[in-house]
Amino acid sequence: MAQTKRFTMDRLRFFFSRIKERLWVKPLVLCVLSIGGTFIALLADNLGLSTVVPEITLESVESLLSIMASSMLVIATFAVGSMVAAYASASAGATPRSIPLVIADDVTQNALSAFIGAFIFSIVSLITVQNDLFDAAGRFAIFVLTLLVFAIVVITFVRWVDRIARLGRVVNTIEKAEKAAGDALDRRRHAPTLGAMKASPQQVFGKGIPVCSSTVGYIQRIDLETLQAHAEALNCHVVVTALPGAFVSQCRPLLRIEGGYEGDFEQRSEEDESSNLDAFSSAFTIRSSRTFEDDPRFGVLALSEIADKALSPGINDPGTAINVISTMVRLFTLWQSPVEKDTLQAVTYDRVSVPELVTDDLFDDAFTAIARDGANMVEVSIRLQKALWALAETGDSAMAAAAKKHSRMALARSERVMVIEDDIDAVRREAAFSSA
């Protein structure tokens, strides 16, 4: 049953998404390139260019490299301190779930990589220059490379100063969370069943051999190609019962096996049976935390947590909650917008069934906490009712039903905690559509 895993586009996307969350990757790449650049300059001496290039004095090259070596280490240390402060700000002012989005900021990672790479380049080049490894052409090449590195550092520093001033701020974190949630929703909108057959609720909770997880955690990704290959080998059909983002344990099935495999279940040895079930469960990437790429609900939940934290008595920032509510309307408008047939992902895994994402679950993630903790704030309650009214008018029946349900729940919470009758009447007027 061993299958060779191929690097499909989906697997590569998931791999590079995890790489972007590691701060050491880009600096390591830039360090290697910096060292390589120094030794490339040695090749200039072998090309016979010493008679045609301008003469660069050894002292000028050493002085330039010394300035870069001393300054880049200080700037890199300052960059790390600023980044740590930005991450702490994002965690304290928004939500700890947004930290991976802040860490994955390209401008910040590029800045840190440029500073460290320039420091390594200057040190290695300074050592080679002081040991007389270069002739005239090599010194000129190092001089040109040093000026180029200086230009890159200056441009990167200017861009980074603008970014670090906003990195970790609540508004910036909301934008990053909205983009992550929007990308995940858009991918799921174009592949509602991830390229597999559609599983009905009866199939998800039906009969079949359950396959449970051997570890406890959150599903980050499902390798449907692996499930398809194992299902074909065993002549069976697989019904996925837990989507990315679901919390699983040894008691909750990841999938159910139907078809021919179930028929000869008793004819297989216990060792073969365990091996086959492990092969199916290996298609699920399970870790201790959730990710944004394949889990649209996590992005929506992170935004809801930002709004909920802003509504806490210690922060008391209803404006941020109102901003998040507007963001939710944009995301749900994207979610229900029609998809052209030629952009829908075709069914390529005909032996695997996957349930679609339920709109009502998305509404629970998005609005329940805001409605609960903002029920006593008239401005938040009114904006929430207006948002739900807008979503109910989109023409999608499932979304309209979910919007009206949450409107009634939010109104009930407001009526229970508000003490000013005029405030209650204002919220009731905005929620009037729910009784239609």
Q: How confident is the model at residue 88 (pLDDT cuts 50, 70, 90)?
A: confident
Whole-number Å distance between alpha carbons of 165 and 86 = 9
Share of the chain above pLDDT 70, in %: 88
Q: Strand 349-354 vs strand 196-198: parallel, antiparallel, or unpaired?
A: parallel
Over residues 397-412, mean pLDDT: 94
- Which comes out higher in pLDDT, residue 62 or 276? 62
Over residues 341-364, mean pLDDT: 92
- Which comes out higher in pLDDT, residue 21 or 335? 335
Whether residue 264 contacts residue 284, with contact meaning beta carbons closer than 8 Å, is answered with: no
Q: How confident is the model at residue 394 (pLDDT cuts 50, 70, 90)?
A: confident
Residue in the block written with tokens 């051997």: 214
Give the pLDDT of residue 357. 93
Whether residue 239 contacts residue 208, with contact meaning beta carbons closer than 8 Å, is answered with: yes
Give the pLDDT of residue 106. 77
pLDDT single digits (tens) 103-132: 777 788 788 888 888 888 888 888 888 887
Whole-number Å distance between alpha carbons of 257 and 237 = 6
DSSP H helical segments within 249-291, as ranges? 260-263, 270-281
pLDDT single digits (tens) 273-324: 566 778 888 889 999 999 998 899 999 999 999 999 999 998 899 999 999 9
Model confidence, pTM: 0.81
Q: What is the DSSP letter of 53?
A: S
Mean pLDDT taken over the chain: 85
pLDDT single digits (tens) 6-54: 445 666 666 666 676 676 777 778 778 777 877 777 777 677 666 667 7
pLDDT single digits (tens) 211-239: 988 889 999 999 999 899 989 988 899 99
Give the pLDDT of residue 126. 87
Measured in degrees and rounded to the nearest 5, phi and psi for residue 349 equal -120, 85
- DSSP 3-state assignment of 236? strand
Residues contacting residue 167 through CB under 8 Å, at least 6 positions apart:
83, 86, 90, 102, 105, 108
90: nearest Cα among 171, 164, 161, 170: 170
Whether residue 42 contacts residue 134, with contact meaning beta carbons closer than 8 Å, is answered with: yes
CATH superfamily, with its number, for domain 193-287 = Pyrimidine nucleoside phosphorylase-like, C-terminal domain (3.90.1170.30)
- Which comes out higher in pLDDT, residue 394 or 415? 415
Residues contacting residue 389 through CB under 8 Å, at least 6 positions apart:
403, 407, 430, 431, 433
